[in-house]
Amino acid sequence: MNAIQCERLCKTFGNRIVLDDVSLEVKPGTVFGLVGMNGSGKSTMIKAMLDLIAIDSGSITLHGMSHRKVQARDKIAYLPDRFAPPIHLRCRDFLQYMLTLHGSDKRESQVVQVLEKLELELRVLDLSVGKLSKGMTQKLGLASCLLSGKSLLILDEPMSGLDPKARYLFKAQIRELRDAGKTVFFSSHLLADVEELSDTMAVLHRHKIVYTGSSDGLLEQTGAGTLEQAYLRCIDKT
């Protein structure tokens, strides 16, 4: 049973086509990277998976259950693009709220451990969210997902705003999740991150999935020397 199964998704906003006959599958225990240019429909696809927006046609299942059912999302932790938690909350209170929401019983020591792995200083816990930089806010959102205990993480541009060291540390956490049998679906326009992390990648371009497979497979298919060249050759054909 696939962690995520999308079949022939179509979505329009008015007269604008955003997703056109899009299908993909995400196997459990893998990392899946969805790559595309800004505005290609990556966030729309993720919101459709989570039933945050309605699709015009097609079907989506999460662990074999229709995405329209609330229970289908019980095993999911989600980090949206442009993550913006309530600025009046202390970081400690935000994390506690998210742990309660996810039904996670992580202890204080486990929270500290995750924050240390992301190099988010413990003093931040007593600051209000509104006092954090963009990078620190993003780390807070990532920490809440990592602490959720969920088997499927859906992350929209998770490395946005992170500096190179923070990106390195977060990618180490993604590998740990995969080693523990968790499933990670993330979107990105950063090909290096997709190449480094993904077992499977998909290229979304002009409303359609134009490639699904490994990064090595895309290199071989296009005859390119780098993934950047392969990506450009792939989208130039459409």
Strand order across the beta sheet in which 65-66 lies? 16-26, 4-13, 57-62, 65-66
Predicted model pTM: 0.93
| 26 close to 67: Cβ distance less than 8 angstroms | no
Q: Which residues pair with 90 in a beta bridge?
A: 128
- The structural domains of the chain, ordered by start, are 1-75+153-213 (3.40.50.300), 85-150 (no CATH)
| CA gap 185, 26 in Å, rounded | 8
How many whole angstroms separate alpha carbon 79 and alpha carbon 68? 19
Give me the pLDDT at residue 106, please: 75
pLDDT of amino acid 37: 86
Q: How far is CA 134 from CA 42, 63, 96, 104, 190, in A?
A: 21, 33, 20, 26, 18
pLDDT of 103 reads 84
Q: What is the pLDDT along the chain (238 residues), one digit of tens a residue?
A: 899 999 999 999 988 999 999 999 999 999 999 998 888 889 999 999 999 999 999 999 999 999 999 999 999 999 998 888 888 899 999 999 898 888 887 777 888 888 888 888 888 889 999 899 988 999 999 999 999 999 999 999 998 888 888 889 999 999 999 999 999 999 998 888 999 999 999 999 989 999 999 999 999 999 988 899 999 999 887 6
**Distance between CA 3 and CA 21 in Å, rounded?**
20
- Determine which helix (DSSP H) or strand (DSSP E) holds 58, and give its type and residue range: strand 57-62
Chain centroid to CA 220: 26
Nearest to 186 by CA among 101, 72, 78: 78
Nearest to 33 by CA among 197, 145, 172: 197
Q: Which two tokens stand for residue 24?
A: 């993909």
| Residue 101 CA: distances (Å) to CA of 8, 75, 194 | 32, 12, 29
pLDDT for position 121 = 85
What was the pLDDT predicted at 238? 65
State both tokens at 169. 């540390």
Looking at residue 160, what is its pLDDT? 85
Return the pLDDT at 105: 78
The closest alpha carbon to 28, from 180, 223, 157, belongs to 180
